[in-house]
Chain A
Amino acid sequence: MATKPAELTPGTSRSVVLVENLTRTQIVMYAGASGDFTPLHTDEPFARHAGYPSVFAHGMLTMAMTGTALTDWFGVENLKEFGARFLNQVWPGDTLTATLEVTSVEPSATSDGQIVELKITTTNQDDIAVLSATARVVSTS
């Protein structure tokens, strides 16, 4: 559920651990739920054959987990835009942390809330960025 701070200003930020020691099973759960069974994500012999050390997570799984940090903060019903670039692959065993930072807060033209823009970086345990994202939400606090 959404937990909103009393006041948001540019620079307000939070960091959230999204997953610790990502398992192959979770990657396969995501394949099942999303319908994307691409064997680079689900089939270790195939991934090795294709030149990769193991299967790796769908970029959309990383984006979805990053989205949880966003909707836990602002509420899913308040999300207006969410975009991401996939920078590096995410591997079984990775621990991911999302850092969300408010970049602007403007009064909304159409409601009594505020339009909040954020930049988000998701990094792995080696502090390598795996995903960069932006989001736009309405905050009614």
Chain B
Amino acid sequence: MKPRSFPVERGHILTFARAIGDHNPLFTDAETAKQAGFDDVLAPPTFVQGAAHFDDAYPGRPKPGEPWMGSGREASGSPPNADAGTELHAEQYFEYHRPLHAGETLTVESRPGRSWEKQSARAGTLSFSETIHDYLDDSGQPVITVREVGVRTERPVEQ
């Protein structure tokens, strides 16, 4: 994930809080947040995932004029390959340096981490790889550090 910059907005936090079923007024009501001593509504712990919206190259979103892997007239926009594996999210770690609130604009610095393989009875060879993202505020100080681990399976995971 490499957004140019990530404006943290009230409306986006509201939408995110609703999507995760969280009714905490610190996320949705600026007055409550201000009375609690914060500049504006706070972001839920995993909110920075929403930075994907500000990444022009993010692959998990259809883009005008480009082929999309999802269904249209056919079940898949991708060539059929029933034996293909799946790219899945294996692990996710957040380190919080301070609370994040609406009204800030973050920049993101990303770097690759480790990679390794494991065998699985349910999905064949699993290839893991790690990416680290530093979310920095406008004075360059880290607000949140994220380490994400993705896994590519050799075949679909057996249910």
Contact = CB atoms under 8 A, between A and B. Distances in A.
20 contacts: A26-B19, A33-B20, A35-B61, A36-B52, A39-B68, A46-B71, A46-B75, A50-B76, A51-B82, A59-B88, A63-B92, A64-B49, A65-B20, A71-B22, A76-B24, A76-B99, A81-B96, A82-B45, A82-B96, A84-B93
Interface string B77-121: 100101010101111111110010000000000000000000000
Contact of A32 (B15, B21, B44): B15
Contacts of A36: 49, 52, 60-61
Interface of A: 1, 18-19, 26, 29-30, 32-40, 42-43, 45-46, 48-53, 58-61, 63-65, 67-68, 70-72, 76-77, 79-86, 89
A61 B20 contact: yes
B1 to A, nearest CB: 9
Nearest to A36: B60
B94 A83 contact: yes
Given A39-B70, A63-B46, A76-B24, A29 B19 contact: yes
Given A60-B49, A76-B45, 14 more contacts: A29-B18, A33-B50, A35-B50, A35-B60, A37-B60, A39-B70, A43-B71, A50-B76, A52-B159, A60-B46, A71-B44, A81-B96, A84-B91, A89-B157
B61 A71 contact: no
A84 B25 CA distance: 25
B90 A85 contact: yes
Interface of B: 12, 15-16, 18-22, 24-27, 38, 42, 44-46, 49-53, 55, 58, 60-62, 68-71, 75-77, 80, 82, 84, 86, 88-96, 99, 147, 155-157, 159
